[in-house]
A and B are shown apart, each in its own frame.
Chain A
């Protein structure tokens, strides 16, 4: 593939009209992944340097730090569940068997178990999100 064939580049991610929900999940997976990488690399540097200078372990700095951690938790949970769905799809566990192309056309790779796995990933995301917010705001006394 040449550079010209992907001329939209990163803007191609934002082209959602006319695509299925899988395209939205693809974009969300990438954006959440990049967000996690930004946090991860800065976290490794930050924790190491704070410990080297002060001898203390890093604590989230105030309300903004805590808010960043809450948002990070949301992103991580989404990335995890959607990632599990993608692995299952890539190895063919949730992709239906090919069928003869007869009108009205049915996309077996985008319906059935694959679509169910997508909804399950979203439901699991919402459930874990609820517990994460409860833990983040000390609403669960564990």
Chain B
């Protein structure tokens, strides 16, 4: 994947986090808005939030690490490690969402 595509995805996920993160914070912190959690949209929103936030986080870490270790061979190793870490957290988070909302 081209670097510009990775960064475009970084910005798109940032925008998605802005919306779904706000839903997450409002539904969990403002008592008057607890009804949001009972809607069908909420689990979908949380799934999008989990996916977007993990991509954004792992790509952000990749950018920092690649800049700190500017050797051409290190970029691929860093990417692979972060993909593995991100996937583990994604599976864990998705499983939790399925237990919580999907009746697993």
Residues of A within 8 A of B (CB): 1-3, 5-6, 9-10, 30, 33-34, 36-37, 40-41, 44-45, 47-48, 51, 76, 80, 83, 87, 90, 135, 142
Is the CB–CB distance between B70 and A5 below 8 Å? yes
Secondary structure call for the B interface: helix
Give which listed residue, B14, B33, B61, B99, contacts A142 with CB less than 8 A. Answer: B33
Which chain B residues numbered 62 to 104 have a C-beta less than 8 Å away from chain A? Answer: 64, 67-71, 89, 92-93, 95-96, 99-100
Q: Is the pair B18, A9 in contact by a Cβ cutoff of 8 Å? A: no
> Which B residues are closer than 8 A to A by beta carbons?
7, 11, 14, 18, 21, 29-33, 50, 53, 57, 60-61, 64, 67-71, 89, 92-93, 95-96, 99-100
B71 touches A41 (CB 8 A): no
Please measure, in the bound complex, the distance between the C-alpha atom of A10 and the C-alpha atom of B69, giving whole angstroms.
10
What chain A residues lie within 8 Å of B100 (beta carbons)? 51
Contact A41 B89 (CB under 8 A): yes
Q: Is the CB of B70 within 8 A of A80?
A: no
Q: Are B70 and A40 neighbours in the complex by a CB distance under 8 Å?
A: no
Please determine whether B99 and A83 come into contact, CB atoms closer than 8 angstroms. Answer: no
Q: From the candidates A10, A37, A45, A142, name the one contacting B92 in the complex (CB within 8 A).
A: A45
Known: A33-B60, A41-B89. A6 touches B96 (CB 8 A): no
Residue of B nearest to A58 (CB): B28
Contact assessment for B57 and A37 in the assembled complex, using a CB-CB cutoff below 8 Å: yes
Contact of A10 among B7, B11, B21, B68 (CB under 8 A): B68
Give the docked Cα–Cα distance between A92 and B7 (Å): 15
CB-nearest residue of chain A to B85: A41
